[in-house]
Amino acid sequence: MKKLLTLAAVAMFGISAAFAQTVTTVKQTPKKVTTVTKTEVKKVEKKAATTGAKLKADGTPDMRYSENKALKANPAGPKKKDGTADMRYKANKVAAKKKS
């Protein structure tokens, strides 16, 4: 009985291998790559330097310092009861866009 089951398993493996998909390779022609180099001079904003706020390398305020925490705590426009900025007002929307 073991020989019969082994023979059946080998036959099933052989049949499934015979009908398996074959791998075909398609040669692709290399595309011509053109590189355009742009030289742009970026303006460095000095807003934080005038307020004395410490900045991270990417230019965002470093929230480990108390002077930066105070700036975030006081939104430009009206506040909700919980103290967060009320985004229904234009002054708060403009301030939120400047952060992004």
Q: What are the pLDDT digits (tens) for 7-21?
A: 999 988 888 877 776
Q: How many Å separate Cα 68 from the centre of its chain?
A: 25
The first and second tokens of residue 23, run together, are 């791998």
91 Cβ contact list (under 8 Å, min separation 6) = 76, 77, 78
Look up residue 79 and give its two tokens.
């506040």
Mean pLDDT estimate for the chain: 75
Confidence band of 95 (pLDDT split at 50, 70, 90): low
pLDDT digits (tens, 9 = 90+) for 24-60: 777 777 777 676 666 665 555 555 445 567 888 888 8
Q: Could you say which DSSP state residue 60 is in?
A: S
pTM of the model: 0.27
Provide the pLDDT for residue 51: 56
Distance, CA of 99 to CA of 7 (rounded, Å): 71
> Helix, strand or coil for residue 51?
helix
| Residue 69 falls in which region: left (phi positive, over 0), alpha (psi -120 to 50) or beta | alpha
